[in-house]
Chains A and B, each alone.
Chain A
Amino acid sequence: MRILVCIKQVWEPESLFDLQGTELRPRPPLRRKVGSYDELALEEALRLKDRLPRTNLTVLSVGPPPVVDVLRRALGMGADRAVHILAPDQPPPRPATLAAWIAAWAQGQNFDLILTGVMSEDAMQGAVGPMLAAHLGWPPVTSVVSLKVDGHALAVEREMEGGRRQRLALPLPALLTVQSGPNQPRYPTLSNLLRAKKTTPLTVDAAGLAAPPDREKVVALTPPEKRRAGLVLEGSAAQKAERLLAMLRERALL
């Protein structure tokens, strides 16, 4: 079986940043990682590979050169091959553009299964996966929490509001977006990391891939509106604690 996992490189959630026009500028130190849902999609693919011996697992990411770091980590976790679609990160490509680029490359590669996270950890749009499936003419199933492969048949469960689950059956090829669950991503192994260090990902320049013109444009980035008072308590920890307790007592909450 040939599996493709699409992963996105994100900044660590706690990284501080500044807004400049429609650009988000991180403050050093720059700490990047694989988006958490994508990492879980990769873990699901690796579990399939553990069970199904003749599985070939390709991992793909789109972005500027530092993206190679997350591809190497994926190789360290056990992926067989890495593909880097080289593209600038400013302005960030729209989901439809990303889907079109990935489809343009993946078409004709004979993948049986494409996995990605239910959404990117930072932008949380959940769009690239289903859009990619639309390009390929495959059925997407989103928010998958369980999957089993039996020959050319897939049995999946997807999670809905309130923990309700849908069970679906579908044939390969298919695209699934993976929701988080009890499975935690494995750590890279030393031997895989050594191999990854010597591996150069296949680089594909996005400029050579077809994509439609943007259908949306980011026209402003601003700090979010404060929806409540947002009173910031100052002082030492003890002073903050004292102030908070006083406020809770004033409101008869304590």
Chain B
Amino acid sequence: MSAGAKSRVVVVAEHSQGRLSPVNWELMACAGQMARVLGLEVAAAVLGQGVEPLAGEIAQRTGVKVWAVEVEGMAAFHGEAQRLALAQLLPAWRAQAVVGAHSTSGLDWAPGLAARLEAAYLPGVEGLSAGPEGPRFSRTAHYGKVREELAPTAWPLVLTVQPGTFPAAPPGEAGHGEVEVVRLPAPPCRSQLLEVVDGAGTDAGLGRAKVVVAAGRGVGQAENLELLRRLAGLFSSAALAGSRPVCDLGWLGYGHQVGLTGATVSPSLYIACGISGARQHTVGMQGSGFIVAISNDPQAAIFNLADVCIVEDLTVLIPALLEQASGYSDPASLQGDLPGRPG
């Protein structure tokens, strides 16, 4: 490999509405590991307008050099502007590696940048190690069921980091970071960002619930959601959630969606029912206290992050749970549901 001593790994920070995203500290953690393995120097860049205070925040917390790139006309994240600006600036920054988040933003600018720079592209990186012939990056592949190790064979590298996989360094004052302001005229974009509209918001009580019962496509049909509702009913503070496909199918409203483009939850107990475990979903629930996964696919990826794995048909298992739980905790409540009760 050809990385010289002064070459850099540059983290491209995510921010919106004047705030840095928490994922940036995970990107910095990944860059820190890369710096050690590859002998690079860590730096960061924040692109947009009025980004100098954000660059200052990164410099203060991590002690690295940060470029505050004031891009004319880029009032909010705009993938095309970001990609063009980075393509212009990176060579002068001696960037051997560029690190972004595996987010809807990172996925908008990073692959095209890699193509433009003729760089190796490593998407959704979850770990790295030093191999005999250079660094190896790991990610999950094939429906999240396989761990794939990639070795770059060209430089520079463009990688996106899977959120929730590199532990962020605790906040502190590393001090002595340096902020350099760069002013860039508006890049020659063909697309024009008109506005950013807030999401409909999630108010399915997901954030407050101590227990979340979540449905995936493996639930099979909308009617089976009733079983999940009754399962949720066993707990005093429970909410029903769904993966994106379940919400797309209209089985649950989008307010119930957990995952990359939905809510992030961390209840005490998460019961995943018929959920495959694709990363887009698991980033939204992997911080849950105790995870139970029920699926009839024995190789489902969800089992790799569950505390308890149950390979079973939901329509058999949940009725068994309901029957035993009712019989155990409060036989009267089951009686109460029986038709023909006198009175």
Contact = CB atoms under 8 A, between A and B. Distances in A.
A227 B305 contact: yes
A170 B104 CA distance: 19
Interface string B173-202: 000000000000000011111111111111
Interface string B297-327: 1110101111111111100110011011100
Nearest to A172: B190
B89 interface: no
A238 B105 CA distance: 46
Interface residues of A, number: 87
A217 B151 contact: yes
B67 interface: no
Contacts of B297: 13-14
Given A161-B261, A230-B309, A247-B308, A96 B121 contact: yes
Contact of A254 (B191, B194, B234): B234
B149 A219 contact: yes
B88 interface: no
A116 interface: no
Interface string B194-227: 1111111110000000010000000000000000
A52 B202 CA distance: 36
Interface stretch (A54-62, A64-72, A75-83, A179-187): A179-187
A215 interface: yes
Interface string A138-179: 111111000000000000011111111111111100100001
Given A222-B146, A222-B147, A142 B79 contact: yes
Interface of A: 13-14, 16-17, 19, 24, 36, 95-96, 99, 118-119, 121-131, 133-135, 138-143, 157-171, 174, 179-182, 184, 212-233, 237-238, 240-242, 244-245, 247-248, 251, 253-254
B140 A218 contact: no
Contacts of A140: 79-80, 108, 112
Nearest to B14: A161
Interface stretch (B58-66, B242-250, B334-342): B242-250
